[in-house]
Structure 1
Amino acid sequence: MSDTPSPLSRSFTEELWGGIASIFEAILAHPFIRGLTDGTLPEEAFRFYVIQDALYLRDYARALALAAAKAPQEQAIAMFCHHAAGAIEVERQLHESFFRDFGLTEQQVRATPVAPTNLAYTSYLLRVAYAEPFHELVGAVLPCYWIYQEVGTRLATRGSPNPLYRRWIETYGGEEFGRVVREVLQLTDRIAEALTPAQRAAAARHFVTTSRYEWMFWEMGWRMERWPV
């Protein structure tokens, strides 16, 4: 008898990650990500990315707050409320340190136009947040947590000659952020136990879509994407 586990024995989050294996490999191979560790990423591109990420976080925090409002259990309500605040407070502190390095004011950041990919990603998140049930919203917000943690963990073993990039890597590859992500993964597996196959499939579709948007976000930063007209 084979000791290989049946696919049915995999957790829901393992199934989700298996469904984006090629997307994640494309992310790791992207020149923006490679440039963080070998120091070849132009600082102008990193500056563009950091500003857009700060603008993204405003709407991501709204999506997390709506997840809290839709959550059926108190533990999930408290968790997503805490994470929504963290998206504004903790990560904003990191961005503000970069803003000082780049000589940017908060007013300059807020006056920056939202790039097309950024607007598309956040618009998708907020549509799911307002229109779809809780389990689908969890599927949509999960890649931003999980992919960043996985990228940070992989890059942390390589480091970076650039102190700005090293600070970014250490934030997302650190244990504190890892604990946050594990908390969300555990919740995802718990709620999946009560889902029908159709409901699981719906959550997985959102997970794949926003994972693709994660690749597109780094591509946006690499190209310093502007509106074409």
Structure 2
Amino acid sequence: METSGSIPGTYQSSRSFSAELWEAITPIYTAILDHPFITGLTDGTLPHDAFRHFIEQDSHYLRDYARALALCAAKSPTEDDVRAFAHDAVSAIAAEQEMHAEFMFQLGGSAEEAEKAPVGPTTRAYTSYLLATVYGGSFLDGLAAVLPCYWIYARVGTALLAESSPDALYARWIATYGDQAFQSVVRRVVELADRTGAEATPAQRAAALGHFVTTARYEWMFWEAAWRRESWPV
């Protein structure tokens, strides 16, 4: 609803855009917390083969996610936002090179093996959608598409941090996303979504929300794919 003092064409609401976004994916987030991959992290029952599948696919995913963040940087409205997204893109690549190499070593493999692993169906679908949205859409569309990876991992990390895990490998993964430095980064991106959403029209917000819900679903599917050790059917 627009108010008499609003900028013509922009959306004015008593609720923040981020509140609207999170409400739309609450059932998806609940399903993620209940997923056996996630519960298996905290109770230590997740098979290492499933976690290795996740790390291999995440290595592929993060390379394209870094490209998506670099595109968000190029389309960002302010110089501060350009620098922040550029830094996040570099950090995504660093995570792939450092943390994943460490995990693969502990799982009896190597970063080179992760790189050579086939890109799975869900990974290919997720990154293709992500890059198409960021390339072809508005800045708000791209921001909404990359946001679930930030926000859901932060929420999952916080939820799991209190329980940690009897498996040292899984406890390390949980600590990474429950870390306050990562939480601070996510708060910055959520605040940017609020700021950008406040300047958008209702139609623009609705389109962005659709992208946000879609990539949130892909987050659930990514863990499901690892749980099933997904491969191409033919």
Return the TM-score normalized by structure 1: 0.95
1:78-117 equivalences in 2 (<5 Å):
78-117=83-122
Aligned partner letter, 2:109: L
2:140 corresponds to which residue?
135
What CA deviation, in whole Å up to 9, does each residue of 1:68-109 have, x standing for no partner? Answer: 111121111111100000000135321111011123223222
2:67 corresponds to which residue?
62
**Corresponding residue SS for 1:99:** helix
Number of positions where the alignment pairs a residue of Structure 1 with one of Structure 2: 223
Matched, 1:39 2:44: yes
Q: Give the distance between the partners of 2:100 and 2:175, measured in 1 at CA.
A: 14
Q: Give the distance between the partners of 1:96 and 1:36, measured in 2 at CA.
A: 19
Matched, 1:150 2:125: no
What CA deviation, in whole Å up to 9, does each residue of 1:23-64 have, x standing for no partner? Answer: 000000000000000111001100110111011000000000
1:1-229 equivalences in 2 (<5 Å):
8-229=13-234
Q: Give the distance between the partners of 2:57 and 2:111, measured in 1 at CA.
A: 13
Q: Give the distance between the partners of 1:145 and 1:153, measured in 2 at CA.
A: 12
**Corresponding residue SS for 1:146:** helix
**Corresponding residue SS for 2:77:** coil
**Corresponding residue SS for 2:230:** coil
Return the TM-score normalized by structure 2: 0.93
**Corresponding residue SS for 1:159:** coil
Aligned-pair identity in percent equals 56
User: Which consecutive aligned stretches of 4+ in structure 1 deviate over 6 angstroms post-superposition?
Assistant: none
Structure 1 vs Structure 2 CA RMSD:
1.2
Q: Is the 8 A contact 2:61 2:123 kept in 1?
A: yes
Q: Is the 8 A contact 2:48 2:107 kept in 1?
A: no
Q: Give the distance between the partners of 2:108 and 2:166, measured in 1 at CA.
A: 21
Q: Give the distance between the partners of 1:83 and 1:193, measured in 2 at CA.
A: 23
Q: Give the distance between the partners of 2:126 and 2:95, measured in 1 at CA.
A: 21
**Corresponding residue SS for 1:47:** helix
Q: Give the distance between the partners of 2:74 and 2:200, measured in 1 at CA.
A: 19
